[in-house]
């Protein structure tokens, strides 16, 4: 009898846990703010590097285009709420543009690429 009761309790716990696990993941508002802040900070770094002459105008135009594309992607994703894969994609893209900016700042050739 005890084995049957334990099996029923385990089965009921499994079925009651399914609806909670099936709920969609929604990031906290802080995640939205952090992503937006990262994009804004990236744009400021590009502008500052261009003003100081560390990157050429062409490099700055290319990086600004990447940052604008990133902002548009964020706006499109945020329209219906972000999910985990979209947050991961945005973080990956932000890091890629940061890496491109670091590369352009250190190449000292004044050309794109």
Q: Please report, for the chain, the start and end positions of each structural domain, with discontinuous segments joined by +.
A: 26-107
Q: How confident is the model at residue 19 (pLDDT cuts 50, 70, 90)?
A: low
Q: What is the mean pLDDT of residues 70-74?
A: 96
DSSP 8-state class, residue 110: S
Residue 35 in this model has a pLDDT that exceeds 50: yes
pTM value is 0.72
The alpha-helical segments, DSSP class H, found in 23-83 are 29-52, 57-78
Q: Which helix (H) or strand (E) holds 11?
A: helix 2-22
Q: How confident is the model at residue 29 (pLDDT cuts 50, 70, 90)?
A: confident
């Amino acid at each position: 009898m005890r084995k049957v009761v334990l099996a029923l309790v385990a089965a009921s716990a499994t079925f009651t846990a399914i609806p909670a696990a099936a709920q969609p993941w929604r990031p906290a508002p802080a995640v939205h703010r952090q992503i937006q802040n990262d994009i804004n900070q990236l744009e400021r770094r590009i502008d500052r590097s261009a003003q100081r002459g560390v990157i050429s105008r062409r490099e700055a135009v290319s990086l600004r285009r990447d940052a604008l594309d990133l902002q548009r992607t964020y706006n499109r994703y945020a329209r219906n709420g972000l999910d985990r894969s979209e947050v991961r994609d945005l973080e990956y893209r932000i890091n890629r543009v940061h890496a491109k900016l670091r590369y352009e700042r250190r190449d000292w050739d004044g050309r794109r690429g």
